[in-house]
Chains A and B, each alone.
Chain A
Amino acid sequence: MSESTASSRSLTGLANPTRFVVLADRLVPWFGTAAMVIIAIGLVMGFAAPEDYQQGTTVRIMYIHVPFAWIAMLCYTMMAASAVGSLVWRHPLADVSIKAAAPIGAVFTLLALFTGSIWGKPMWGTWWVWDARLTSVFVLFLMYLGIIALTRALDEPGLSARAAAIVTLVGFINIPIIKFSVDWWNTLHQPASVFRLDGPTIAPVMLWPLLISAAGFTLGFLTLHLMAMRTEILRRRVIAMRRMAAQAAEGDAR
């Protein structure tokens, strides 16, 4: 068996929902535990790091606000990749991935908006401004709500999946807008300070806790996504089995 055939087989194997559920059962406890430990390490390091010379203790909101905002965009990017998988390759788990990820992405986006707002009040003197960064993230939140509604609009999950995949893919245009909004427009929100061509502008003593916290929350997000995908597969099994039971009952009645 050639290497490419073996690799193709392992990919096909992952596309099998039963094998996916078995894999998720194995990974979720490890991922979940590791996520909690890494988040705890990141936040303890964050609180042990010195306060910012201008922002004081409010800089500690950064250790959750920034990971939430990154995950809000990461989740949507994963959903867009799943939408390609759904529309191009009809991958059986791609629709499941979009439907399972949308509520999680909405929660992380809401938390990014909330923690940003509560950070903005003492630092900017306002809870909210309609600048390009805040507005584009708010649009992302609305898009998540729309996709949640679309994926749950019909009883038959397959029917709404195609529409949800198209909307998700079209909405991906918002992700680079969010990322570059602080460069393209004059915003109250600060420009990028970690992922920059000339390197991070944050002191290492604050950068490391931020990166560790972000890694922990990302692992936590992946754990929740795996769990939600597994639940969605189980939900579709329940629907299929209820239909079979109803058809069997109808056959008996004739």
Chain B
Amino acid sequence: MSHAFFVAAAYIVSALVLGVLVAWIVGDQAARRRELAALEARGIRRRSAGNGNAGQ
């Protein structure tokens, strides 16, 4: 195998793995936002909502 093959493999696999990491973080965030929107649509509010002191 040529040296260029090792360089290309390192870059391509790294890009794919980082792509999966970003997709997972973005997807997780979108799913949580959907869940929050659904709860708020049911009229459920956090105790701290509105006074700027949000709990976790």
Within 8 A of B (CB), among A142-175: 157
A250 CA to B17 CA, complexed, in Å? 45
Interface of A is mostly: helix
User: Which residue of the partner chain, among B11, B42, B56, contacts A245 with CB atoms under 8 Å?
Assistant: B42
Residues of chain B within 8 A of A107, CB atoms compared: 17-18, 21
Residues of chain B within 8 A of A64, CB atoms compared: 10-11, 14
Within 8 A of B (CB), among A222-254: 224, 227-228, 230-231, 233-238, 240-242, 244-245, 248
Q: Which residue of B lies closest to A110 (CB)?
A: B17
A50 within 8 A of B: no
A60 within 8 A of B: yes
A186 within 8 A of B: no
A92 CA to B54 CA, complexed, in Å? 11
Contact between A118 and B9, CB atoms less than 8 A apart: yes
User: Which residue of the partner chain, among B14, B52, B56, contacts A92 with CB atoms under 8 Å?
Assistant: B56
Q: Which residue of A lies closest to B22 (CB)?
A: A224
Q: How far is the CB of A112 from chain B (nearest CB, A)?
A: 10
A60 CA to B26 CA, complexed, in Å? 30
Which one of A16, A103, A224, A241 has the greatest number of beta carbons of chain B within 10 Å? A241
Contact between A56 and B25, CB atoms less than 8 A apart: no
A interface residues, Cβ below 8 angstroms from B: 16-19, 21, 56-58, 60-61, 64-65, 68, 92, 96, 103-104, 107, 110-111, 114-115, 118-119, 121-122, 157, 224, 227-228, 230-231, 233-238, 240-242, 244-245, 248
Q: What are the 10 A-B residue pairs with the smallest beta carbon separation, nearest first?
A: A18-B54, A234-B32, A236-B56, A231-B29, A238-B35, A115-B10, A241-B39, A61-B10, A118-B10, A58-B3
